[in-house]
Structure 1
C-alpha cells in the first residue's frame, strides 16, 4: 500500500465503491457457498463412519444447519440480484478433502477416527464463522440490513455447531 507514514485509514474512510464492494462480497460468498455445498454432500457419509452416537447426531444436525445456511445465502444472492458463480473454492474444499483423507487414515481405530472428525469439523466451523463475520462487516457498507441479518443467522448457527462439537469432544475424551 502506498500510504504516507503516520496517516492511517479507518474502515469508515475506506472508499471501496459499491460496485467493487459488491464484487468482493459476491466472490467471497461464492467461496463459502461452494464449500458448504461440498460439505453438505460429504457429511452424511461421515456421520455413518462416526462411532460415538452423540457425534453422529451432531453431524446430522450440522447437515440440517448447512442446508438452512445455503438457503439463506441463496436469499442473499437474490437480494443482490446476483447468480452463484463457480469461483475458486480450492482452499476451503481442499481443507475438507484433507480432513476426509485424515479421517480415513484412522480405519480400524474408531476412537481416533471420531477425534479426527471432531478436529476437522471444528476447523471448518471456525473458517465458516470467520467468513460470515467478514461478510457481515462488508454487508454494513452495502447498506442492506436483511443481508446482514441473514449472515448473522448463519454465523450464529456455525458458532452453535462449533460449540456443540466442543462439548462432544470434551464428553468423548473424558469418558
Structure 2
C-alpha cells in the first residue's frame, strides 16, 4: 500500500495481513454482537408500543431470533478462540433512540406508530444483513469457515423480508 496520502492505488494494490484481517473480523463481530444485545431491550420497548398484533408477534419472533443469533455468535467466538470484547455500539443506539422518539412522538396514531416501527426495524435488519455479509467475506479471506455465519445471515435476511412484507401489507 502506498505510504503517501493521495497516492492513487487500486484495490488489487492493497495487501492486508491476516492478523489485521482477524482484528477487523473480531471488531465487526463485536459490533454486531453487542449491537444485538442492545436491540433486545429495544424490541421489548417497541413490542409494548406496537398496536398491530401481527407486528407484536413479528417483534417477539425477532427477539427469539436475536437470542439465537447471539448464541450462534458465541459459538463463532469459541471456534476462533476469542471472546466478545465490549465495544461501542453508538450508531445502533442512536438509531434505536431516533426510532423510539419517532414512535412515541405525541400526536401519532397507533397506525402511524406501527408504520414507524416497521420502517426502523427494516433499517436495522438491513444493517444486520450487511454486517453478516461483511463477516462472511472476512472469514473467507482469513481462511475461517464462513459457513458458521450462514445461519445468522439467513435469519437476518428472513427477518428483513418479514418486516418488509408486513410493511407492504400494512400501508396498502
TM over 0.5: yes
RMSD value over aligned CA atoms?
A: 1.8
Counterpart of 1:44 in structure 2 is 44
Counterpart of 1:159 in structure 2 is 157
Alignment partner of 1:8 is 2:10: yes
Shift of 1:41: 1.9
Shift of 1:87: 1.4
Counterpart of 1:19 in structure 2 is 19
Provide the C-alpha distance between the structure 1 equivalents of 2:108 and 2:97, rounded to a whole number of angstroms.
20
Shift of 1:106: 5.1
Shift of 1:164: 0.7
Provide the C-alpha distance between the structure 2 equivalents of 1:154 and 1:70, rounded to a whole number of angstroms.
9
Provide the C-alpha distance between the structure 2 equivalents of 1:130 and 1:141, rounded to a whole number of angstroms.
17
What is the TM-score with the length of structure 1 in the denominator?
0.89
Gaps of 5+ in 2: none
Provide the C-alpha distance between the structure 1 equivalents of 2:82 and 2:140, rounded to a whole number of angstroms.
18
Counterpart of 1:64 in structure 2 is 64
Gaps of 5+ in 1: none
CA separation of 1:106/1:132 partners in 2, compared to 1, >3 Å: closer, same or farther?
A: farther
What is the TM-score with the length of structure 2 in the denominator?
0.90
Encode CA deviations 1:104-142: one digit per residue, 9 max, x unaligned.
Answer: 115651001000000000000000101111111000012
